Structure 1
Amino acid sequence: MSAAVIVFPGSNCDRDLAVAIREVTGRAPAMVWHRDSALPTGTDFIAVPGGFSYGDYLRSGAMAARSPIMRAVAEAAGKGVPVLGICNGFQVLTEAGLLPGALMRNAGLHFVCRTVGLKVENSQSLFTSRYRAGEEIAVPVAHHDGNFQADAATLDRLEGEGRVAFRYTEEVNGSARSIAGILNDAGNVLGMMPHPERVIEAAHGGTDGRRLFDGLVEGLLA
């Protein structure tokens, strides 16, 4: 499997994500700079990492969403290539229009950095096939602008179409309906605030994130 990790000025989880992908696939991903205009030929999977792209000026992810490489990411997503956006990557995907809604300042106006409980809402997607619907897992968060918001009609549509992938089991940041991760309508784009790449080995304190990557690889190689 050939993967690509998008790197922006201010990304600080790109190497963590690359290590996780290499650990699961046995192959290091391409590290693609934001000013590039094309992805490597044959890219099977795209990951947009956490961090503080462009220093989080304007809105988090707003400047990164207009980087040249995001046009190539959007084009690939439109062709069915899986795209995973984690934390700042989730913010970038919403700002780029690949996912609905917006990530606002946390309700408590504080940076939140701790392991939180997540409920798996959809186990039928490419990203969640190794989980059970209703299962509770533990994944760390680290964000200041993770408060997911959308209008009521959009929230109802996400719920009705089974596009809520993960939901917080506790109060974390004020997100509408405790939403922690959502899918696009085609199911090949996932944005989530928690960091699955930080829990792929027991030495990291847990392995609940590894199944996301395992399931993705299994689905792509099927």
Structure 2
Amino acid sequence: MPRIGVVTFPGSLDDRDAQRAIRRADGEPVALWHADHDLQDVEAIVLPGGFSYGDYLRPGAIAAVSPIMTEVVAAANRGMPVLGICNGFQVLVESHLLPGGLIRNAHQQFIRRDQRLIVENADTAWTHRFQPGEEIVIPLKNGDGGYIANEETLEYLEGEGLVAFRYAGVNPNGSLRDIAGLTNERGNVVGLMPHPEHAVEAGFGPDMPDAMRSGTDGLRFFESAVEALVARAA
């Protein structure tokens, strides 16, 4: 059973939800503490949502220099799968594992909604159980989710196929080019603002056309990682 670490920072909210999602995907969640340097022999890492350090300075800016991030960055650069969800995406950007930045939502308000996404890149450690062009529904909740980058970076992301997800129907936060999530060139690091860990069990997920709270599209993120790790170990 693959061991997948979930880092808890001061102000993390969704670390336990991420651990639960990993268990539902037949992985073994391992709690990691921001002040440690020990990754406890995990094979993948999730940086969860929340408000690390109260979003002081910039969301994710202080968490990005936490002791454990030295190890996370080094592991990611070696090819370890790393998923950053919402605040975790902000930490990945602040750690320069993914390019660009995330700013206050365009309407200056916190938003919470079941968000439609288009899968743009299904060739990563966290997305290979999806199909390119597939529409999925994942809960979204953020106040600083507007993705920005200069034109050169945006063209690079588009040209290299590094946009992992785009908002569909509604762009909830003013993200440039409707970008909801990114991957790195190697495909082991993925960050997105919506919360797949909140869509892993029928009855507790987003509303879907066939039934309320029935959405489980988020489970495939974690199943993708577990499957990739099992295949690597075989």
TM-score by length of 2: 0.92
Structure 1, residues 181-201: CA drift from partner, whole Å, max 9, x if none? 000121110010000010011
Which amino acid letter does the alignment assign opposite residue 81 of structure 1?
M
| Percent of aligned pairs sharing the same letter | 54
Pairwise mapping of residues 37-116 of structure 1 onto structure 2 (< 5 A)? 37-41=37-41, 43-116=42-115
2:191 corresponds to 1:191: yes
1:22 aligns with: 23
Tell me, in whole angstroms, the C-alpha distance in 2 between the residues paired with 1:59 and 1:212. 27
1:140 aligns with: 139
Higher mean C-alpha displacement, 206-215 vs 73-82: 206-215
CA shift in 2, pair 1:184/1:26, >3 Å: closer
2:172 corresponds to 1:172: yes
3-state SS in 1 of match to 2:73: helix
**Which runs of 5 or more structure 2 residues have no equivalent in the other structure?**
205-212
3-state SS in 2 of match to 1:203: coil
2:228 aligns with: 219
3-state SS in 2 of match to 1:191: strand
3-state SS in 2 of match to 1:155: helix
Which amino acid letter does the alignment assign opposite residue 65 of structure 1?
A
3-state SS in 1 of match to 2:174: coil
- How much is the aligned-residue C-alpha RMSD, in angstroms? 0.8
2:33 corresponds to 1:33: yes
**Which runs of 5 or more structure 1 residues have no equivalent in the other structure?**
none
Structure 1, residues 164-215: CA drift from partner, whole Å, max 9, x if none? 1100012210000000000012111001000001001111121111111112
CA shift in 2, pair 1:157/1:26, >3 Å: closer
3-state SS in 2 of match to 1:156: helix
Which amino acid letter does the alignment assign opposite residue 195 of structure 1?
H
Tell me, in whole angstroms, the C-alpha distance in 1 between the residues paired with 2:58 and 2:137. 28
C-alpha displacement of 1:26: 4.7
2:145 corresponds to 1:161: no
Tell me, in whole angstroms, the C-alpha distance in 2 between the residues paired with 1:124 and 1:194. 19
2:209 aligns with: none
Higher mean C-alpha displacement, 212-221 vs 189-198: 212-221
Which amino acid letter does the alignment assign opposite residue 203 of structure 1?
G
